[in-house]
């Protein structure tokens, strides 16, 4: 235990952890609807139990989601254990299956990406997703990011709260250590799964947890709490630097903030350019590339590469008409609708450009969704002439790779092109309902 964290009497550990979770949620301003990311392991089991049995249990609407990655034979056992715990606490639980494709992020990194995309898609407006990260996880994250030359984000650590999907993400166990969670689980007689992958030393986190951090603990027994304290002390300085970068980024963003004005960007020094690119990619919900990739991007930008197109398995950055565009590599999510299908907005519409489209409420009369075929025309104003969508693309400088958008029809008439152009007739059809799109969620 840390000198900064009071030693917890085993007889009071349950009250201590439950009070900590309740106070963290109150400080974060968490609403009354919470979703626990329940793996079935020690940490998330403690979190769900502390919520369901804690002092705010009468105020909270709690549900749980278990994401089954299907990476090992015991995956179904983990799902069953999670469902059993939730049922014993009278908490509804759903299991979501995800596939883990090959990735330069590695199995561990790609599993995290797919897990958070699934959780984001399942989150309802205004809900708070709660994950079970604690101080030992904070220390692991800092070391892992430092090893990858992650820059200032390494020292920022795990954010205690941030916007996420249609709601927010919070980590109410930050401020507690793994030893406290273990004592809580043993006192309450909880049963949990031990993931064999947590012992696989070829995985980054497992190597840190079982080889590096125990060695640190022999010299600095309270290293995890001190790392968490260091993160807290650094936050004001990091926040000031982040605000400065945010102002710089706003000055080089196009009318569309997902596009950068290349000439304006290159007026800044190298360190500022890299900081702005990192923040820009984060705003777009894209994974942060490594230091070498960013250095190569900077080199090509400075040398004026006309055909700039840098790619990882997750991110690609391209130039068009002296503007910089970023997107996910390839179809981030397969189209779930075939050509000329109906969509009433009850479920999000994932698209191959790495975005998904949502309606603020379901429609009584569904829309027809079609892929671009060429030659489509749209009449934006009731009083105006129809015009070719191709001309709109060219006039607004939309790069060729961003033209794969859902074309939305009603009664055979094209009324909207994604959420970029919507006709007056389309707005009448929607009434008070609104169409918007956002990047498919990624995770930090």
For residue 237, the SS3 value is helix
Contact 344, 363 (CB under 8 A): yes
Taking the mean position of all CA atoms in its chain, how far away is CA 237?
A: 24
Contact 324, 281 (CB under 8 A): no
Query: Which residue bears the tokens 């080089």?
Result: 252
* Sequence-ordered list of residues with C-beta below 8 angstroms from that of 383, at least 6 positions apart, any chain: none
Is 408 annotated to bind a ligand? Reply is: no
Calpha distance 312→314 (Å, rounded): 5
Is 39 annotated to bind a ligand? Reply is: yes
What is the sign of the dihedral through the CA atoms of 390, 391, 392 and 398?
positive
Is 42 annotated to bind a ligand? Reply is: yes
Calpha distance 344→408 (Å, rounded): 11
The residue length of the chain stands at 444
Calpha distance 168→161 (Å, rounded): 7
Calpha distance 61→35 (Å, rounded): 8
Q: What are phi and psi of 197, to 5 degrees?
A: -65, -20
Calpha distance 394→382 (Å, rounded): 22
Calpha distance 427→356 (Å, rounded): 19
Calpha distance 71→86 (Å, rounded): 22
* Sequence-ordered list of residues with C-beta below 8 angstroms from that of 157, at least 6 positions apart, any chain: 138, 141, 142, 227, 228, 231
Is 175 annotated to bind a ligand? Reply is: no
Binding-site residue positions for ATP: 39-44
């Amino acid at each position: 235990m840390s000198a900064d964290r009071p030693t917890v009497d085993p007889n009071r550990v349950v009250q201590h952890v439950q009070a900590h979770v309740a106070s963290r949620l109150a400080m974060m301003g968490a609403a009354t609807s919470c979703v626990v990311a329940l793996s079935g392991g020690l940490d998330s089991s403690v979190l769900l139990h502390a919520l369901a049995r804690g002092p705010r249990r009468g105020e909270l609407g709690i549900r749980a989601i278990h994401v089954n990655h299907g990476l090992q034979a015991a995956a179904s056992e983990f799902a069953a254990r999670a469902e059993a715990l939730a049922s014993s606490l009278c908490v509804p639980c759903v299991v979501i299956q995800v596939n883990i494709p090959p990735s330069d992020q590695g199995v561990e990194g790609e599993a995290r990406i797919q897990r958070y995309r699934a959780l984001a898609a399942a989150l309802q407006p205004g809900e708070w997703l709660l994950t079970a990260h604690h101080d030992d996880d904070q220390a692991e994250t800092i070391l892992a990011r430092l090893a990858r030359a992650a820059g200032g984000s390494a020292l920022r650590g795990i954010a205690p709260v941030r916007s996420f999907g249609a709601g927010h993400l919070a980590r109410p166990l930050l401020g507690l250590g793994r030893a406290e969670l273990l004592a809580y689980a043993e006192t309450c007689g909880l049963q949990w799964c031990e993931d064999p992958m947590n012992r696989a030393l070829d995985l980054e986190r497992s190597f840190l947890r079982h080889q590096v951090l125990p060695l640190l603990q022999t010299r600095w027994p309270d290293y995890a709490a001190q790392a968490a304290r260091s993160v807290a002390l650094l936050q004001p300085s990091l926040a000031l630097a982040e605000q400065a970068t945010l102002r710089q980024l706003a000055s080089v963003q196009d009318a569309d903030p997902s596009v950068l004005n290349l000439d304006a960007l290159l007026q800044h020094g190298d360190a500022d350019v890299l900081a702005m690119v990192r923040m820009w990619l984060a705003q777009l919900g894209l994974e942060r590339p490594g230091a070498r990739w960013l250095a190569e991007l900077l080199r090509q930008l400075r040398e004026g590469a006309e055909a700039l197109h840098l790619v990882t398995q997750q991110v690609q950055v391209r130039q068009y008409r002296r503007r910089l565009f970023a997107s996910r590599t390839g179809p981030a999510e397969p189209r779930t609708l075939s050509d000329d299908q109906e969509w009433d907005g009850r479920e999000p519409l994932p698209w191959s450009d790495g975005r998904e489209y949502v309606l603020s409420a379901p429609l009584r009369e569904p829309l027809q969704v079609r892929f671009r075929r060429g030659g489509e025309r749209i009449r934006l104003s009731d009083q105006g002439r129809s015009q070719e969508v191709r001309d709109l693309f060219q006039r607004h400088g939309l790069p060729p790779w961003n033209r794969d958008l859902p074309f939305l029809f009603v009664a055979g008439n094209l009324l909207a092109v994604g959420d970029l152009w919507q006709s007056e007739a389309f707005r009448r059809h929607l009434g008070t309902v609104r169409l918007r799109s956002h990047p498919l969620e990624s995770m930090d």
